[in-house]
Amino acid sequence: MPVVWSDRHRLHDPGGEVWVGVRTPGTELPARAEQVREALAEAGARIVDAEAHPDEAVLRVHDPALVDYLARAWEQWEAAGLTVDPGQDRVVPYVFPHPGLLAGVSPAIPAAISARAGHFAYDTMTLIGPGTWEAARAAVDVALTAADLVLAGERAAFACCRPPGHHAARACFGGSCYLNNAAAAAARLRDALDGPVAVIDVDAHHGNGTQAVFYDDPGVLVGSVHVDPGAGWFPHFLGFDAEMGSGAGAGANRNVPVAPGSGDEACLEAVAGLVKWAREREASALVVALGVDAAEGDPESPLRVTAGGYRAAGRALGALGLPTVVVLEGGYDLTAIGRLVTEALGGMEEGLDSSRQP
C-alpha cells in the first residue's frame, strides 16, 4: 500500500516531557518516523508526499480556539519572555481549569500565555517548541492525503505521520498529541461515504481523543483496545468499558481494556471483537490507529505483543475487506518499530487479499 509522508515532521522536537514536575527525556522523537519509513521503503513500499489541505479539514474535528492556540503558542511564549525568565525553552502549562474549580462556570481563556497553556493542554508532558505547529499540521495533511488515496480507489494507504494524534480531543491536547490525525481522516471518509466509518485503535493506550471527538456521533464507530487504565496506565481517567457513546452516538463507542502483561492472545481476541463489531454495524470504511507500543520491549507500555501478533492483528483488520486508512500513532522502541509496522501492514494486505476470495 502507498505510504504517505512529510519531511516537516522533523520540525517537531518535543525537547523532553515534564513528568511529575521533572523534565525527562521524551520518547516521541523524529527518529521514529524515519525508522518506520526506512523499513517500509526497504520492503518495497511506494512513498508519496503529503498534499497540503485547507484548515477546514482540521476544523471538522477541532475547535477553532485550539487550532488558533497551537498555531501561535510558541511565538507568544517567546514574546512573553518566558524563554529568558524563567528560562523555559518549551511551552509548559502550570495551571488548569479543573472542573471542580469551575463549579459549572465556563472558564475564561487566560490573558497570560503561561496560563493559556493549561486551558488547552491537559497534561504537562506534551511540550510546544518552535516547529511543533508546522509538524502537527503536516501530520494531519499526511492522514488526509492517505484518506484521499483511498477515496480515489486505493484499497488501503498508510499515513506515516508524527507527532501522533489519538490523545487530542476537540478543544484540548496531551499524550504527545496535538491534532488528531486519525480523526481527521475518519471525518473525511465519513463525509464522502454512505454508512458509518469505523476507527479501530490498537495503540497500547486508550484513544481518548478520538473517542471524545466522535462521542455523540453515530457516523463514526470508535473502538479501542489498550492497557487497562484501571491498572494505573495513561490516560488514567478514560478508556473503561462503560464508555459507550452518548446521545445519537450511544452504542457507537467501544473500549476493550486488557491487563498489563497481556500478549498476543488477549490482544488478538480484543481486536477480533472490534472487527466483529465493525462488521455487524456495517461499516463502510476503516481507519486503523496503528500504535506499535503494545510490543514487548516498548518503553511506554507493559503489553507484550510480538511481531507475529502485529501481523495477525493486521490480517484480522484487513479481512474486513473495507477501504482502509492506517495512521501511525505510538511506538517508541526505535530498534523494533520499523519491523512492527511492516508486519502489521503486511498482515493487512494478506487480510485484504483473503477478503477478495469468493
Residue 323 or 330 with smaller CB distance to ligand SP5: 330
148 binds, among ligand SP5, Zn ion, none (CB under 5 to 8 A by kind): none
9, 119, 205, 339: residue in contact with Zn ion (rule CB under 5 A): 205
164 binds, among ligand SP5, Zn ion, none (CB under 5 to 8 A by kind): ligand SP5
Minimal distance in Å, beta carbon 203 to ligand SP5?
Answer: 5
The answer to whether residue 226 is catalytic is: no
234 binds, among Zn ion, ligand SP5, none (CB under 5 to 8 A by kind): ligand SP5
- Contact flag: residue 217 with Zn ion (CB under 5 A): no
Minimal distance in Å, beta carbon 220 to ligand SP5?
Answer: 19
324 binds, among ligand SP5, Zn ion, none (CB under 5 to 8 A by kind): none
5 binds, among Zn ion, ligand SP5, none (CB under 5 to 8 A by kind): none
**Chain residue at closest Cβ approach to ligand SP5:** 330
Minimal distance in Å, beta carbon 257 to Zn ion?
Answer: 14
123 binds, among ligand SP5, Zn ion, none (CB under 5 to 8 A by kind): none
- Contact flag: residue 245 with Zn ion (CB under 5 A): no
Q: Is the Cα dihedral 295, 92, 56, 251 positive or negative? A: positive
Contacts (CB under 5 A) with Zn ion, residues 309-328: none
Q: What is the 3-state secondary structure (H, E, C) of the chain?
A: CCEEECHHHHHCCCCCEEECCEEECCCCCHHHHHHHHHHHHHCCCCEEECCCCCCHHHHCCCCHHHHHHHHHHHHHHHHCCCCCCCCCCCECCCCCCCHHHHCCCCCCCCCCHHHHHHHHECCCCCCECCCHHHHHHHHHHHHHHHHHHHHCCCCEEEECCCCCCCCCCCCCEECCECCCHHHHHHHHHHHHCCCCEEEEECCCCCCHHHHHHCCCCCCEEEEEEEECHHHCCCCCCCCCCCCCCCHHHCCCEEEEEECCCCEHHHHHHHHHHHHHHHHHCCCCEEEEEECCCCECCCCCCCCEECHHHHHHHHHHHHCCCCCEEEEECCCCCCCCHHHHHHHHHHHHHHHHHHHHCC
138 binds, among Zn ion, ligand SP5, none (CB under 5 to 8 A by kind): none
Dig out the grid coordinates for 21 from the structure.
514536575
Minimal distance in Å, beta carbon 61 to ligand SP5?
Answer: 16
- Contact flag: residue 207 with Zn ion (CB under 5 A): no
Minimal distance in Å, beta carbon 236 to Zn ion?
Answer: 13
Which of 119, 167, 206, 226 is catalytic? The answer is: 167
**Chain residue at closest Cβ approach to Zn ion:** 330
- Positions touching ligand SP5 (CB under 6 A) are 17, 19, 24, 125, 164, 167, 175-177, 203, 205, 234, 291, 293, 300, 329-330
User: Shortest CA distance to 189 belongs to which of 181, 197, 179?
Assistant: 197
148, 203, 264, 333: residue in contact with Zn ion (rule CB under 5 A): 203
- Contact flag: residue 28 with Zn ion (CB under 5 A): no
Residue 177 or 274 with smaller CB distance to ligand SP5: 177
Query: What does each C-alpha distance from 305 to 202, 255, 341, 352 come to in angstroms?
Result: 11, 18, 13, 22
Spatial CB neighbours of 31, under 8 Å, sequence gap ≥ 6 = 334
Amino acid at 304: R
Minimal distance in Å, beta carbon 91 to ligand SP5?
Answer: 18
Minimal distance in Å, beta carbon 356 to Zn ion?
Answer: 32
What is the contact surface with Zn ion in residues (CB under 5 A)?
Answer: 203-205, 291, 293, 330
Query: Known catalytic residues?
Result: 167
